[in-house]
């Protein structure tokens, strides 16, 4: 096992294995995780962070790969975090994911990691935030966070990236395309992908109608068209991302997003730590007795929790 | 405002308005919420709870309505909780939802409620559990929890219903149909809906392949076909739900699910209460200072949380 300073040194050099290990440390709550984060913390904030979100089947992965390739061609080093609380049930899709990773992994200038931590409260959002910071510390220029726009965790994650792109496709129908309202509200850019399909105009009209209903924001999110499979519209997308970045800098948006991100990190870490602390103070016997009492209906859950926290 | 005992009395009579108000109390953390739950708690555990989960577009709502109608024809009183962390962005879908509710609401033997609480950690799972209990207390015979199978919250919710039905449809493609692996693992029944469409056999083969990869369970989940729009297969579905219920009773499954549900309720309430407590003890100034420190990068988030919890 490497020491924290070994890991830190390899990480700062951009070593992929060290980066992978450091992310795993953060995910698993390794004893060295806190120290590692404390050590990299003062040096962060250099990387650009782009969010790409949308329904399954919208072509997010292909679009992400195209954006990564275009930025790579400019000499940037790119980190990709594929955040997916859903996990496809067919072996085929998982295989496709692996092939994608292997193909990308051949380029030392691109680091890709699938984030699918489960279980811990706020676990996925927290682990993704940690991974963004570690990629930043490792000197990656742009970090792309790709996510299915469904859970609250994901809204939290994309709400504090620099530029949040929401990807839609023609002809999928309202219900399938349903995106969490929270994500629509934080969209900085709408992308109609597979825009050579019939129905692109209708999707655009729907987006405009939805925008007209939403709270007025200082930034009016533009609507772009792409055909990710063919690489069409990718340069325009990047131009709009830069345009939005410039707007953020001139309107105090970066500071606002940094504060929002700090708040999110604080909240999710506090929840994890407060529960751990409360359980440790109560001890496993009292926790088990409380759960048994709820099961037997001799104790209601609200009173059980007050009983556990009462002496904390 | 009604007193707790007024509300309790109307609730026990099955009054829809009282039920709606009680669910809102639990969602919003009304001061009377805890007492209300403590008072109904000893009387619960009578209702059957069925989970219906699947991708957007799988026809869950139609299937839920058909199941509710069939059970209603047997004289049962039915509660429906539509749990949806996603929120469609088109006005059309929202309108459709309202029309559905109005149609169902005309029958006093069916209560329907949309659960979409956001924000609080564990909020949606916790509020749904509370609503199940209140429906149980109000004497509903069967409670159907309908949910898009995507977030961890939803896996938590359906993992402790009595019978969890996972709905798939032919021809949607792997990626769109991707269901969280956790939900596949807790499926008690697979339903191929819209089974008159091309590709039903292929979906069945995929389900069987997936089952063969999964951990062996004592219960082998059957695969059914339905055409919810036409009401086809609904009686067979109900027969299988009863079959699974009988199996649960003869294999200690109800006790196991009750314990799992108790654990979930305890965990989600503990998280909410522990965070509230920690923030109250630290005070708003120290919380704000911690978040500012993280924003300014003078304080890393892990140390900030330790600082807040240190004195608790």
Do residues B145 and B290 both lie within one domain?
Answer: no
Counting the structural domains of chain B, the total is 3
More confident residue, A144 or A60: A144
Q: Looking at residue A106, what is its pLDDT?
A: 75
Q: Looking at residue A120, what is its pLDDT?
A: 42
Residues 6+ apart with CB under 8 A from B83: B115, B116, B124, B128, B145, B146, B147, B148, B154, B157
Q: Looking at residue A150, what is its pLDDT?
A: 59
Question: Given a cut of 50, is residue A234 above it in pLDDT?
Answer: yes
Write down the residue that tokens 């795993």 correspond to. Answer: A24
Strands A78-83 and A142-148: parallel
Give me the phi and psi of A239, to 5 degrees please. Answer: -60, -40
Residue B220 lies in a domain: yes
Interface test with B, best of A31, A60, A152 (most B CBs within 10 A): A152
Do residues B293 and B215 both lie within one domain?
Answer: no
Q: Which of A50-54, A170-174, A215-219 has the lowest mean pLDDT?
A: A170-174
Give me the phi and psi of A14, to 5 degrees please. Answer: 85, 15
- Segments forming the whole domain that contains residue A54: 44-251
Summarised one tens digit per residue, pLDDT across range B48-58 is 999 998 877 78
Interface test with B, best of A43, A89, A123, A171 (most B CBs within 10 A): A89
Summarised one tens digit per residue, pLDDT across range B209-235 is 777 776 677 899 999 999 999 999 999
- The β-bridge partners of B49 are B143
Question: pLDDT grade, residue B96 (50/70/90)?
Answer: low
Question: pLDDT grade, residue A210 (50/70/90)?
Answer: confident
Q: Looking at residue A295, what is its pLDDT?
A: 93
Residue A260 lies in a domain: no
Total beta-carbon pairs less than 8 A apart between chain A and chain B? 241
Interface test with B, best of A97, A175, A210, A272 (most B CBs within 10 A): A175
Question: With pLDDT > 70 as the criterion, what percentage of chain A qualifies?
Answer: 83
Residue B259 lies in a domain: no
Determine how many CB atoms are found less than 10 A away from the CB of residue A214: 14
How far is the alpha carbon of A99 from chain B, nearest alpha carbon, in Å?
Answer: 15
Residue A263 lies in a domain: no
B152 chain-A contacts, CB cut-off 8 A: 85, 118-119, 124, 151, 153
B89 chain-A contacts, CB cut-off 8 A: 177-179, 181, 184, 206, 210
Summarised one tens digit per residue, pLDDT across range B127-182 is 888 999 999 999 999 999 998 765 666 677 777 799 999 998 887 765 445 555 56
Do residues B103 and B167 both lie within one domain?
Answer: yes
Residue B257 lies in a domain: no
Interface test with A, best of B301, B303, B304, B310 (most A CBs within 10 A): B301
Are A291 and B262 inside 8 Å of each other by CB? yes
Handedness of CA A96, A100, A105, A111 (dihedral sign): negative
More confident residue, A76 or A55: A76
Q: For residue A234, give both structure tokens.
A: 């990718």
Q: Looking at residue A217, what is its pLDDT?
A: 76
User: Taking chain B, what is the end-to-end CA distance rounded to the nearest angstrom?
Assistant: 36
Residues 6+ apart with CB under 8 A from A73: none
Q: Which of A4-8, B31-35, B99-103, B294-298 has the lowest mean pLDDT?
A: B99-103
Do residues B48 and B35 both lie within one domain?
Answer: no
A123 in Cβ contact with A275 (< 8 Å) = no
How far is the alpha carbon of A266 from chain B, nearest alpha carbon, in Å?
Answer: 6
- Round to whole Å and give the CA distance between A252 and B218: 58
More confident residue, B168 or A125: B168
A158 in Cβ contact with A186 (< 8 Å) = yes
Highest mean pLDDT among A86-95, A236-245, B20-29, B173-182: A236-245
Question: pLDDT grade, residue A108 (50/70/90)?
Answer: confident
Do residues A203 and A66 both lie within one domain?
Answer: yes
Q: Looking at residue B2, what is its pLDDT?
A: 77
Residue A216 lies in a domain: yes
Average model confidence (pLDDT) for chain A? 84
CA distances to A25, A68, A298, B16, B68 from A18, rounded to whole Å, are: 10, 21, 51, 58, 54
Q: Which of A238-247, B27-36, B284-293 has the lowest mean pLDDT?
A: B27-36
A118 chain-B contacts, CB cut-off 8 A: 152, 182
CA-CA-CA-CA dihedral for B34, B39, B41, B45, to nearest 10: -140
Q: Looking at residue B228, what is its pLDDT?
A: 94
Do residues B26 and B50 both lie within one domain?
Answer: no
Q: For residue A191, give both structure tokens.
A: 């992308």
Average pLDDT over residues A262-275: 89
Residue B260 lies in a domain: no
- B122: helix, coil or strand? coil
More confident residue, A244 or B2: A244
Do residues A196 and A300 both lie within one domain?
Answer: no
Q: Looking at residue A182, what is its pLDDT?
A: 63
CATH label of the domain that carries residue B238: 3.40.50.300
Q: For residue A232, give both structure tokens.
A: 């069409």
Q: Which of B141, B140, B161 is nearest to B149 (CA)?
A: B161
Are B180 and A279 inside 8 Å of each other by CB? no
Do residues A85 and A30 both lie within one domain?
Answer: no
Average pLDDT over residues A120-127: 66
How far is the alpha carbon of A192 from chain B, nearest alpha carbon, in Å?
Answer: 15
Do residues B32 and B78 both lie within one domain?
Answer: no
Do residues B81 and B223 both lie within one domain?
Answer: yes
Summarised one tens digit per residue, pLDDT across range B300-312 is 999 999 999 985 4
Are B88 and A178 inside 8 Å of each other by CB? yes
Average pLDDT over residues B251-276: 89
Question: Given a cut of 70, is residue B89 above it in pLDDT?
Answer: no
Question: Given a cut of 70, is residue A32 above it in pLDDT?
Answer: yes
Summarised one tens digit per residue, pLDDT across range B176-211 is 455 555 667 778 999 999 999 999 998 898 888 777
Domain boundary among B207, B225, B251: B251
DSSP string, B62-121: HHHHHHHHHHHHTT--EEEEEE-SS--SSHHHHHHHHHHHHHHHTSTTEEEEEE---SST
How far is the alpha carbon of B256 from chain A, nearest alpha carbon, in Å?
Answer: 9
Do residues B37 and B60 both lie within one domain?
Answer: no
Do residues B58 and B198 both lie within one domain?
Answer: yes
B111 in Cβ contact with B16 (< 8 Å) = yes
How far is the alpha carbon of B100 from chain A, nearest alpha carbon, in Å?
Answer: 15
Question: Given a cut of 70, is residue B99 above it in pLDDT?
Answer: no
Q: Looking at residue B79, what is its pLDDT?
A: 95
Q: Which of B233, B91, B72, B86 is nearest to B149 (CA)?
A: B86
A85 vs B151, B267, B295: nearest CB: B151
Question: With pLDDT > 90 as the criterion, what percentage of chain A qualifies?
Answer: 49
A108 in Cβ contact with A17 (< 8 Å) = no
Residue A258 lies in a domain: no
More confident residue, B56 or A273: A273
């Amino acid at each position: 096992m490497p020491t924290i300073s070994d890991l830190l040194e390899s990480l700062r050099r951009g070593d992929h294995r060290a980066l992978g290990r450091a992310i795993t440390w953060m995910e698993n709550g390794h004893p060295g995780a806190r120290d590692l984060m404390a050590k990299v913390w003062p040096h962060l904030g250099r990387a650009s962070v782009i969010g790409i979100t949308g329904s399954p089947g919208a072509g997010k992965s292909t679009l992400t790969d195209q954006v990564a390739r275009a930025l790579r061609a400019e000499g940037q080093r790119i980190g990709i975090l594929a955040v997916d609380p859903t996990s496809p049930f067919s072996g085929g899709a998982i295989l496709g994911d692996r092939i994608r990773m292997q193909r990308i992994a051949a380029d030392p200038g691109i680091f890709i990691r699938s984030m699918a931590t489960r279980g811990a409260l706020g676990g996925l959002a927290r682990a993704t935030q940690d991974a963004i910071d570690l990629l930043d510390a490792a000197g990656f220029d742009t970090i792309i966070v790709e996510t299915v726009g469904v859970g609250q965790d994901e809204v939290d994650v994309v709400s504090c990236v620099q530029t949040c792109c929401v990807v839609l496709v023609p002809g999928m129908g309202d219900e399938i395309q349903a995106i969490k309202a929270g994500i629509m509200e934080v969209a900085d850019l709408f992308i109609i992908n597979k825009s050579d399909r019939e129905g692109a105009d209708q999707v655009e009209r729907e987006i405009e109608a939805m925008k007209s209903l939403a709270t007025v924001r200082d930034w009016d999110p533009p609507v772009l068209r792409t055909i990710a499979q063919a690489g069409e519209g990718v340069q325009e997308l990047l131009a709009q991302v830069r345009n939005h970045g410039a707007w953020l800098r001139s309107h105090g948006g970066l500071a606002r997003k940094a504060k929002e991100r700090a708040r999110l990190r604080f909240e999710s870490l506090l929840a994890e730590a407060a529960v751990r602390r409360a359980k440790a103070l109560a001890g496993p016997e009292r926790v088990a007795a409380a759960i048994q009492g709820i099961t037997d209906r001799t104790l209601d859950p609200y009173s059980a929790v007050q009983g556990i926290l009462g002496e904390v």
